[in-house]
Amino acid sequence: MKTLLAFLALVGVGLAQQFGGVARVVTEAIEDRYFPGAAVVVGSADTVLYQDAFGAHTYEAGAPAVSLDTRYDLASLTKVCATTMSAMKLYDEGVLDLDAPVARYVPDFAQSGKENVLVKHLLLHNSGLPGYYSPKEGQSRDEILDAILALPLQYETGTKTLYSCLHFVTLMLVVEAIAEEPMPDFYEREVVQPLGMTRTTFMPAEEIREECAPTMEQLQGVVHDPLARGLEGHSGNAGLFSTAGDVAKLARLMLGKGEIDGKRLVSAETVETFTSCITEDCSRFLGWQSNAQGGTSAGTLVSSRSFGHTGYTGTSIWCDPENDFFVILLTNRVYPDDRVSIYNIRRAVADAAFSAAMGIPPAPLARAALPAEEGGTLFTFRATPGYGSVDSTVVFVDYGEGAERAASHEFESPYASYRFISEPTDAAVYAHAVNYLNGTPSVPSSVLGARGAGRDVLIVDGSDLEGSERYPYWEAARIHAEALPEDASFATVDADVFVEDQALAERYPVLLYFCSEDNSERQTAPRAVRLALARRLAQNGSLFISGSEIAWSLGKPGRDSALVQFLDETLGIAYSGDAAESNEVVGASGSPFEGTSFAFGNESALYRVGFPDFIAPTNDGALCLEYGNERGAGVAVRRFAEGNGASIFLGFPFETISTAESRREIMRRALDYFTNDADKN
């Protein structure tokens, strides 16, 4: 990190400018009403590199501005910042045995067949306990705890991971049994005071509640989580209030292997124990979420050794020991209600912060690959999303010969666009771009591609939306394109180009719109995109929406998402649901997809075991996928609106289908529906 600071001084870029990408992500999120305000801190074990506060406590006029002193309801960050820290302290002192039965410390826990659950099972979220307990009206704190202790296991201990607030309510009881005092008191004396966390507390006193960012109109300085609120704010799963600066001290402690500013709280061995893989899948460390498998709110750039946690109210902490980096984001995204997800925002903040801290330039934006009038393909990239510095951009072009050729360009402005015309070819040609700053490359842009001068398919990359500083699945456009028939021409553009140039879209009989997992919320179909797609159908254009994990947002009935709104209002499609029993999807024996597997990441998605034998129409003209003789699986849907064009919605993640043959078969069938008007079956 000393090298990093020298680098920042060398290039003469102020920290505010260097971290402008972070500010932009947060400011745009506030403008889009993801949350009214936020605080961010970025740093290392030795220092804070950047900290700032944005927005206000609420959306109301005259609401207090957020400052670095604003206290936030940390929600489930309590699990790591307080309960896990307390457990680490006791483990470090040799009085907590992670391999001991929980019942050794809390005898009443042994009831209902839980006598073999160990303390480490609580920290790993694999004990067998259910995910939550909702207090009944009028239940006292003691009655709630008694009810939790009496609960039976829902699955065999150690056989799977199920995140549960009950693990940390129980762990709180373990801490209190060993410490012989309430956990908030133990935590205050053993952690808060030694670290100088002067604005961190459970159960804020009445006189300081106005310093807290509200989570609901009637909740300010009172814990948002119903279970923790039923436990009077004295709980191990939620209830801690703090500032971004105070939480940063815990992050520095963890990156410092138990030491901060010369003060040692726990041993380096204890930190290593709690932040290492001890299960086969390594999905969780002890108390902490692991980034070993990627796909977390830590973003796309931190190492697999990273650990962190999120909180329901809109909080997150991520630490990367390999790169000596941490990022804290505190928001009250649940104000005035909890209908928005900030998964994308968390990832965007983490990526922007990491890029700035490590001197990595932002990735270029892939804009369009279209047939050029003089032959060849005209590729257009934008240097940056409008922040940061770029020395040069290199465009890598693949002419299908197995080797890439590069063309570089130096930008006079970070807002500049680079236009490059490839050599004419009858084969498909693809390109992506990489930015360089002081010799350091960015992550690649999305891949653009085109083939021929025909007007068959326009592929719209909905994951690469301007203004979202995320890095999408950058190969996804190519995977979709390579599944097209060899005689089909195609071109690729990002969603903004599609919205800006409707005349372009009208020239293509089929429009293929895809988005990645990162786009399962707002970015799936922003209003401008929804309107453009609606115009497309009104002009009798065929529309193929490749879900790429966005089906996840349909797995929750009544979910208020842009995707559900788009399907309902524009396409007239409604998801009827299925009994999603597993997230393992394989090709049915004897079907065209035999031996093919489909990967996705959420058990609430729309799939059943065994990929369907074939796609069949229902009586109302919609399509479903058949599993043997069983209909209604709800993965792919098509409806012909009266007088409008045809549409197909494909919910599974197309780019994760395991074989190219199966991808081509699915694409062929989809295009057949659009082109064979005589036989819509």
DSSP result, 561-604 = -HHHHHIIIII-----------S-EEBPTTSTTTT-EE--S-TT
Q: Decide which of 101 and 504 is more confident.
A: 101
pLDDT of residue 601: 29
Peptide bond before residue 444 is cis, with ω within 30 degrees of 0: no
Least confident of 129-138, 322-331, 525-534: 525-534
Read off the pLDDT band of 410 (50, 70, 90): low
Write phi, then psi, for 503 (nearest 5 degrees): -60, -35
Residues 6 or more apart in contact with residue 246 via CB below 8 angstroms: 195, 197, 198, 199, 200
User: Which has more pLDDT, 494 or 651?
Assistant: 494
Q: Which of 180, 169, 26, 175 is nearest to 86 (CA)?
A: 175
Assign 657 a pLDDT band (cuts: 50, 70, 90).
Answer: low
Tell me, what's the pLDDT at 391? 81
Task: Answer whether residue 490 shows pLDDT above 60.
Answer: yes
Q: State yes or no: pLDDT of 596 exceeds 70.
A: no
Q: Tell which residue, 598, 596, 614, 594, has the closest CA to residue 606.
A: 598
Q: Span 166-191, mean pLDDT?
A: 98
Matching residue, tokens 């009172």: 222
Mean pLDDT of 382-407: 75
pLDDT at 650: 62
Q: What is the pLDDT of residue 538?
A: 65
Q: Which of 264-273, 568-577, 659-668 has the lowest mean pLDDT?
A: 568-577
Angle between the N-to-C axes of helices 343-358 and 20-31, in degrees from 0 to 180, rounded to the nearest 10: 160
Position of tokens 């590729």? 379
pLDDT at 409 over 60: yes
pLDDT at 46 over 90: yes
User: Per-residue pLDDT for 602 more than 90?
Assistant: no
Please state, in angstroms and rounded to a whole number, the distance separating the CA atoms of residues 664 and 483: 4
Average of per-residue pLDDT values in the chain? 79
Query: Is residue 664 predicted with pLDDT exceeding 90?
Result: no
pLDDT 10s digits, 339-384: 777 887 898 899 889 988 998 887 788 899 999 988 889 999 887 6
Dist. CA 461–CA 588, nearest whole Å:
30
SS3 at position 468: coil
Better pLDDT: 610 or 192: 192
Q: What is the mean pLDDT of residues 379-406?
A: 77
DSSP assignment string, 410-434 = --SSTT-EEEEEPPP-SS-EEEEEE
- pTM (2 d.p.): 0.75
pLDDT above 50: residue 163 = yes
Mean pLDDT, residues 314-328 taken together: 98
Residue 403 above 60 pLDDT?
Answer: yes
Gap between the Cα atoms of 320 and 308, Å rounded: 9
Chain-centroid distance, C-alpha 42: 19
Q: Identify which of 250, 339, 259 has the alpha carbon closest to the alpha carbon of residue 240.
A: 250
Q: How far apart are CA 392 and CA 375, in angstroms?
A: 26
* pLDDT score for 591: 46
Cα dist from 660 to 250, 451, 478, 479, 480, whole Å: 47, 18, 12, 9, 10
Residue 273 has pLDDT above 90, yes or no: yes
Q: What residues have CB less than 8 Å from 163, skipping those under 6 apart? A: 125, 131
pLDDT at 676 (0 to 100): 61
State the pLDDT at residue 394: 87
- Residue 534 is predicted with a pLDDT of 67
Task: With a cut of 50, say whether residue 481 has pLDDT above it.
Answer: yes
Given pLDDT bands bounded at 50, 70 and 90, which one contains residue 611? very low
Q: State percent of the chain over pLDDT 90.
A: 48
Amino acid at 245: G
pLDDT, tens digit, for every residue of 532-555? 776 776 676 777 777 533 333 333
Buried b / exposed e over 344-372, threshold 16 CB at 10 Å, is bbbbbbbbbbbbbbbbbbbbbbbbbbbbb
Tell whether the model's pLDDT for residue 194 goes beyond 90: yes
User: Which band of pLDDT confidence, cut at 50, 70 and 90, is reported for residue 515?
Assistant: low
